[in-house]
């Protein structure tokens, strides 16, 4: 019998090794697994590399992980936001590294890792500072820059519904990075607003098939917001 539903966030996270690469879904707050990230703060893993489109807001979720000094390096496209002051301070103090990756390249590098592809050539960044040090190849007369896959040890995904096989449905634009990140990590944990019986999800509508998911945790939507438990 397959039952990927974990009883608690602690049970789902289990042991996260120091030095892990952690993929965090979400664009702003939409699609972020806030409770799972706070679980990671409590769990205590250090020296993490975090892959996320943004670099945290306020002092909860990813910002709390950064503030606790657990993150060695951020890989993101848009770290600077109106309330990213925790990241901003750490970056200016030289206490966190930043690898800046264009948003589409970030998504495709993650997708490549999940698809078992050893990298790809993209027109994006050619002739810009973000192409420095990377292989350039002329393909059919156009310049392309080589990009490597980006694999995670752990992915923490925020979604809407799942069954015990780990089939997942996302809600509206909260889907964003979830489907690609779920495929690209050694261990993928998804928090969902609702766990439904096997067979309740229309197979035509499953967005992340259960093969990509290791554990599912029930977090009601009202609690999956920044700082809900504080």
Partner 1 sequence: MTYARRSKSEIARRVAQDIPDGAYINLGVGMPTQVSNFLPPDREIVLHSENGILGMGPNAASGTEDMDLINAGKEPVTLLPGASLFHHADSFMMIRGRHLDISVLGAYQVSTAGDLANWSTGEPGAIPAVGGAMDLAAGAKRIWVIMDLLTKDGRSKIVETCTYPLTGVRCVSRVYGDLATLEFTPDGPRVVDQVEELSHSDLEQLLGIRLLRAAADS
**CB under 8 A: which stretch of 8-16, 36-44, 122-130, 148-156 binds partner 1?**
122-130
**Beta carbon nearer to partner 1, 44 or 127:** 127
| 24 neighbors 52 (Cβ within 8 angstroms) | yes
User: How many other C-beta atoms are found inside a 10 Å radius of the C-beta of residue 138?
Assistant: 9
Beta bridge partners of 208: 168
Beta bridge partners of 98: 74
Q: Which of 5, 41, 46, 77 binds partner 1 (CB under 8 A)?
A: 77
Using the rule CB under 8 A, is 49 a contact of partner 1?
no
Q: How far apart are the first and last CA of the chain?
A: 37
**Beta carbon nearer to partner 1, 196 or 207:** 207
Using the rule CB under 8 A, is 43 a contact of partner 1?
no
Three-state SS sequence of 50-84 = EECCCCCCCCCCHHHHHHCCCEEEEEECCCCCCCC
Using the rule CB under 8 A, is 9 a contact of partner 1?
no
Which residue has tokens 């156009």?
A: 142
Residues 163-202 that bind partner 1 (CB under 8 A): 170-180
Using the rule CB under 8 A, is 78 a contact of partner 1?
yes
Q: Which of 5, 28, 43, 72 binds partner 1 (CB under 8 A)?
A: 28
- Site map 96..115 versus partner 1, x via CB under 8 A: --x-xxxxxx-xx-xx----
What single string gives the DSSP state of each residue in 105-143?
A: HHHHHHHHHHHT---EEESTTTTSGGGTTS-EEEETTEE
Beta bridge partners of 71: 48
Using the rule CB under 8 A, is 121 a contact of partner 1?
no
Least distance in angstroms from the C-beta of 87 to partner 1 = 8
Interacting residue ranges for partner 1, rule: CB under 8 A = 27-31, 77-81, 84, 87-88, 91-92, 98, 100-105, 107-108, 110-111, 122-130, 170-180, 207
């Amino acid at each position: 019998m397959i039952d990927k539903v974990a009883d608690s966030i602690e049970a789902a996270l289990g042991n996260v090794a120091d030095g892990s690469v952690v993929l965090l879904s979400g664009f702003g707050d939409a699609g972020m697994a806030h409770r799972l990230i706070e679980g990671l703060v409590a769990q205590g893993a250090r020296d993490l590399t975090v892959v996320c489109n943004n670099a945290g807001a306020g002092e909860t979720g990813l910002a709390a992980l950064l503030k606790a000094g657990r993150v060695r390096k951020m890989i993101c496209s848009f770290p600077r936001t109106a309330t990213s002051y925790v990241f901003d301070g750490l970056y200016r103090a030289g206490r966190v590294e930043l690898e800046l990756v264009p948003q589409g390249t970030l998504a495709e590098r993650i997708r490549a890792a999940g698809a078992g592809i050893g990298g790809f050539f993209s027109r994006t960044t050619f002739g810009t500072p973000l192409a420095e040090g990377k292989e350039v190849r002329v393909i059919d007369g156009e310049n392309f820059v080589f990009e490597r896959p980006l694999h995670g040890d752990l992915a923490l995904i925020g979604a809407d519904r799942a069954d015990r096989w780990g089939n997942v449905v996302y809600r509206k634009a909260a889907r964003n990075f979830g489907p690609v990140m779920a495929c690209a990590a050694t261990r993928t944990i998804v928090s969902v607003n609702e766990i439904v019986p096997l067979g309740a999800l229309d197979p035509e509508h499953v967005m992340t098939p259960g093969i990509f998911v290791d554990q599912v945790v029930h977090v009601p939507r009202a609690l999956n917001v920044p700082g809900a438990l504080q």
